[in-house]
Structure 1
Amino acid sequence: MALSPFHLAIPVYDLPAARKFYGETFGLNEGRSSEHWVDFDFYGHQLVIHEHPITSTQESTHTNAVDGHNVPVPHFGIVLSWPEWEALAERLKGFGTDFVIEPYIRFKGEVGEQATMFLLDPCGNALEFKAFKDMGQLFAK
């Protein structure tokens, strides 16, 4: 099944720091931009960072318990192939990333077993990157 690219616009209160983070830390290609927003190619999807005053979720992160960890809410991210996820985890560790949840295998030995990691961008937006060895379990119950 071919997926359509999504478009996601998020608030950032420090545009230069967020631009550097998404461009350098992740190595995302930059698209159109202005002095108040920047488009990025987020693994084939359109991520736009928009300059905006700090939001309440950026000031104080809410969490929900999942598999013994406090998962930040809201968050967004991408499901990568297993090798891409492993390479990204190593890249982020190489940048000295301060993870909210360190890279690990969630639901080990259960339906929906997945690799996951959580981090915050410089403006407090939470991101999750995950991978499934069996992509057929993406929506498994």
Structure 2
Amino acid sequence: MTTEFSPFHIAIPVHNLEECRTFYKDILNCEEGRSSDHWVDFNFFGHQLVIHYKEKSAEDLHTNPVDGKHVPVPHYGVVLPWDVFHDFAENIRAKGVQFIIEPYIRFEGQVGEQITMFFLDPAGNALEFKAFKDMGQLFAK
């Protein structure tokens, strides 16, 4: 497996294309790319995120217990540099984003020390953003 940077592609369902377009563009500051009346591409921190219209589902949010918190499953997101994470968290907090899990540090002083946070987009898709104190420990055991 290569260790070079390879952008990923993810497509997610949204029931309100315009509301989610505004969220990703104006709240998360993602640059918009191509679009149609059923989907929109975004530059999601160097990766391709596509929001696709899908009728609203009645499914409840599923969670698993981690560190005494209810982590939403499924979820997606990115690993940011440590200093970028803090600025990003304050920026979205200032824009009124409600956290499912407030930013907190896991494994403090241990291998894999990281900070993480979770919130939902307007369609109810769960996002996790995290940062490692030492990025070299991203896959450390």
Q: TM-score range by the shorter chain?
A: over 0.9
Residue 70 (structure 1) aligned with residue 63 (structure 2): no
Partner amino acid for 1:5?
P
Partner of 2:16: 14
The answer as to whether partners of 1:67 and 1:107 remain within 8 angstroms in 2 is no
The answer as to whether partners of 1:79 and 1:129 remain within 8 angstroms in 2 is yes
Q: CA–CA distance in 2 between the matches of 1:53 and 1:8?
A: 18
Matches within 5 A, 1:18-29: 18-29=20-31
Matches within 5 A, 1:1-141: 1-55=3-57, 59-141=59-141
% identical aligned pairs: 62
Shift of the alpha carbon at 1:68? 1.5
Shift of the alpha carbon at 1:55? 3.4
User: Which runs of no fewer than 5 residues in structure 2 stay unpaired?
Assistant: none
Q: CA–CA distance in 2 between the matches of 1:124 and 1:106?
A: 25
The number of residue pairs the alignment matches comes to: 139
**Partner SS for 2:103:** strand
- TM-score normalized by structure 1? 0.95
The answer as to whether partners of 1:61 and 1:73 remain within 8 angstroms in 2 is yes
Shift of the alpha carbon at 1:34? 0.4
CA RMSD of aligned residues (A): 1.0
Partner amino acid for 2:31?
N
Following superposition, which runs of at least 4 residues in structure 1 exceed 4 angstroms of deviation?
Answer: none
- TM-score normalized by structure 2? 0.95
Q: CA–CA distance in 2 between the matches of 1:135 and 1:86?
A: 15
Shift of the alpha carbon at 1:109? 2.4
